[in-house]
Amino acid sequence: MTGVLKRRNILLIAVGVVLVDQLSKAVASQLLSAGTIDPLIPGLLSLQLVHNTGAAFSLFTGFTNLLGVLSLAVSVGVTVWICRHRVVPIWQALALAFLLGGTLGNGIDRWRLGHVVDFLALIPIDFPIFNGADVAINLALLCFALDLWFNRRSADRDAANRDAAERE
């Protein structure tokens, strides 16, 4: 996949991630009771409301203020980076949009509620309960990896073409 995304589109995707994340958390908070497990996709995914004061895998539990400041710092840093570039390669752009949206989504929870609302639980494996912002952050990692992969392949191809041209 090749192409670029403009700054405006990257920011719009990030806003979309935040809106979906916050809406899904609001719905989960209204419909779910803490401690109950409701199947969503039997055998794969269930709904279970948890208020997490930590980060991924419940690391830094109880450090909500520090994690809130970290969320703010990452959000500002990513936003500044996006604003300094008019266009960005597609995978990098998607990674930045997902990272910004996910970081803001969980940051809003930390600043507003003092915890992050998690509600998605994988059934077949013992995995921490998560939310849409967490999914977006993981998609950001995948997109960064794809960006590195495609850039590496492109660089290898360019180097091979240079080598071939020098041998002629």
Q: For position 12, what pLDDT does the model report?
A: 98
CB 10 within 8 A of CB 87: no
3-state secondary structure of 89: strand
Q: Mean pLDDT, to the nearest integer, of 10-23?
A: 98
User: Which two tokens mark 24?
Assistant: 């899904």
Domain count, the chain: 1
Please tell me which residue, 165 or 101, carries the higher pLDDT value.
101
Q: For position 59, what pLDDT does the model report?
A: 74
Q: Can you give the residue range of the structural domain that contains 69? A: 24-153
- 160 in any annotated domain: no
- 46 in any annotated domain: yes
Q: For position 168, what pLDDT does the model report?
A: 65
- 53 in any annotated domain: yes
Task: Write out pLDDT tens, residues 42-81.
Answer: 999 999 999 998 887 667 787 788 999 999 999 999 999 9
Q: How far apart are CA 47 and CA 32, in angstroms?
A: 8
pLDDT confidence of 152, banded at 50, 70, 90? confident
- 162 in any annotated domain: no
- 68 in any annotated domain: yes
- 31 in any annotated domain: yes
Order of all β-strands in the sheet with 45-52: 38-41, 45-52, 116-122
Mean pLDDT score across all residues of the chain: 90
Q: For position 137, what pLDDT does the model report?
A: 97
- 161 in any annotated domain: no
Q: Which residues are catalytic?
A: 118, 134
- 164 in any annotated domain: no
pLDDT confidence of 166, banded at 50, 70, 90? low
